[in-house]
Structure 1
Amino acid sequence: MRDLTVRHPSRGRRRGTRPVVDGVSFDIAAGETLALIGPSGAGKSTTANAVLMLRRPDSGQVLFEGRDLAALDAAALRATRPAVQPVFQDPYGSLSPRLRIRDTIAEPLRVQGRWDPDTGPARVDELLDTVGLDVRLGGRRPHELSGGQCQRVGIARALASGPRLLVLDEPVSGLDPSVRAGILNLLTDLQERLHLGYLFICHDLAVVRHFAHRVATLRDGRIVSTLPARELYSTGPSTVSGNERAVR
């Protein structure tokens, strides 16, 4: 991403717009995790939405493998969406309660017109196995699974499209610590096996230090520092808030 600016309408009596993120630039290599941290309201989710092109930037470029996603028309953008996929924070809320797990994982392929009725079911079973789930869970619905299992389903659904970049928006913050470790280990294994790039939004610095390669800190809509994760200091606050600064 280069010099990205996203604006929201101003609140109150002032007219016009206000920048939520302004001049944000970063890059992510294949096989690398870039963590994006900062206090609430810093622009982390807005930046993630711009990378996913869920919200087009007002200016700047979102470059993916040399193509500016922000400059593509609707048809060209649809063709690139399989390569950049999200994994959301809420493992239950991100899954349709009406669909069985098997159909949830198959849904992206159907939407993209890539579903093959002959090979598709075996592909779904393969994805369930890849994320560490028993294939028999494919017949269940989200409310019949644990939070950790639902997050694994969300990862399997993202992998169905054959992505090269995952946008992980607080993917473990709602999980118990023991379950959280399993999800992070899974993501690490998938990155090594599939050479995936990760944009990892997180407020827990202990997780960031052990999971990310580099860390970009957002403050008031701007990146104020980018540094190797190992350089995050090891004492003091373990989370980022509006009053506590996580990096030196």
Structure 2
Amino acid sequence: MPLLDVRDLVVRYGNVTAVDRVSFALEAGETLALNGPSGCGKSSTALAVLQLPRPAAGEVHFEGRELTSLTESELRPLRPRMQPVFQDPYGSLSPRHRIRDAVAEPLKVQGRWDPEGGPARVAELLTRVGLDPSHGDRHPHELSGGQCQRAGVARALASDPRLLVLDEPVSALDPSVRAGVLNLLADLQDELGLGYLFICHDRSVVRHFADRVIEMRDGRVTSP
């Protein structure tokens, strides 16, 4: 059974069809890239996989469960296992919160925060993504782009996910920093067995990082 199995996915915004009957499957421990020009439907596909928003048609099977037919309350316990990492490392974290609070937030929202062990868990997550625990005392604007994106990855890992939806996670970073973040993601995948749905328009990055590539254009898959 694939970790993720998407069948004939359709996403519409009003009268515009952004994703038109897209299908693919992703195994645990695999990186599947959606590649194509801006506006081709890559990010809309990724968000629909996360049920943000709900697709207009099609099916999304995650760990054997079909998500589109579930109510929001039925989806809630599954959401921690599917986590996004977005393109803008600063925009994905609240500028008002310290990094430690941003990383702790998923644990608190999910009712898993332990006042005694929680700070150690946050420090562990920061260390795992290559940050010093002291970075937790800073606000996002006090970190570099690469450090901030690593903090975003730590925040995603706090939920113990099985799937990361990586929406252009390195396109805003300098090339040298980009390589470090990609190496981090590869190491985490090897260590944790994560599945990656990797959204990227840069073919050179895709060739380096992905196990398989699906090309998209005008909302459709042009080559599996």
TM range, smaller chain: over 0.9
User: What whole-Å deviation, never above 9, does each CA across 1:184-237 have from its counterpart, x for those lacking one?
Assistant: 0000000000000000011111111110000001111111111xxxxxxxxxxx
TM-score when normalising by structure 1:
0.87
Please tell me whether Structure 1 or Structure 2 has the larger radius of gyration of its CA atoms.
1
CA distance in 2, matches of 1:137, 1:220: 42
Query: Is residue 5 of structure 1 aligned with residue 10 of structure 2?
Result: yes
Higher relative contact order (CA 8 A, sep 6+): 2
Length-normalised TM-score, structure 2: 0.96
The AA in structure 2 aligned to 1:85 is: Q
> 4+ runs of 1 displaced by more than 4 Å?
none
Q: What is the identity, as a one-letter code, of the residue corresponding to 2:130?
A: G
Alpha-carbon shift at residue 112 of structure 1 (Å): 1.4
Matched, 1:19 2:17: yes
Aligned AA (1:190): L
Equivalent residue number for residue 47 of structure 1: 45
Q: CA RMSD in A?
A: 0.7
1:111-130 paired onto structure 2 within 5 Å = 111-130=109-128
Structure having the higher strand fraction is 2
| Alignment gaps of 5+ in structure 2 | 1-5
Which ranges in structure 1 are unaligned for 5 or more consecutive residues? 10-16, 227-248
Question: Offset of 1:140 from its aligned partner?
Answer: 0.7
Question: How many residues get paired?
Answer: 219
Give the structure 2 partner of residue 193 of structure 1.
191
- Corresponding letter in the other structure for 2:207: R
* Residue 107 of structure 2, aligned match among 100, 106, 109: 109
Name the residue aligned to 1:202: 200
* SS of equivalent residue, structure 2 residue 55: coil
Return the alpha-carbon distance in structure 2 between the equivalents of residues 206 and 224 of structure 1: 19
Q: Percent identity?
A: 70
| Residue equivalent to 1:84 | 82
Instruction: Give the Cα separation in 1 of the matches to 2:114 and 2:71.
Output: 27
CA–CA separation in structure 2 for the residues paired with 1:179 and 1:141: 20
Give 2:97's aligned residue.
99
Report the equivalent of 1:158: 156
Distance 2:171 2:73 in 1: 35
8 Å contact kept, 2:38–2:201: no
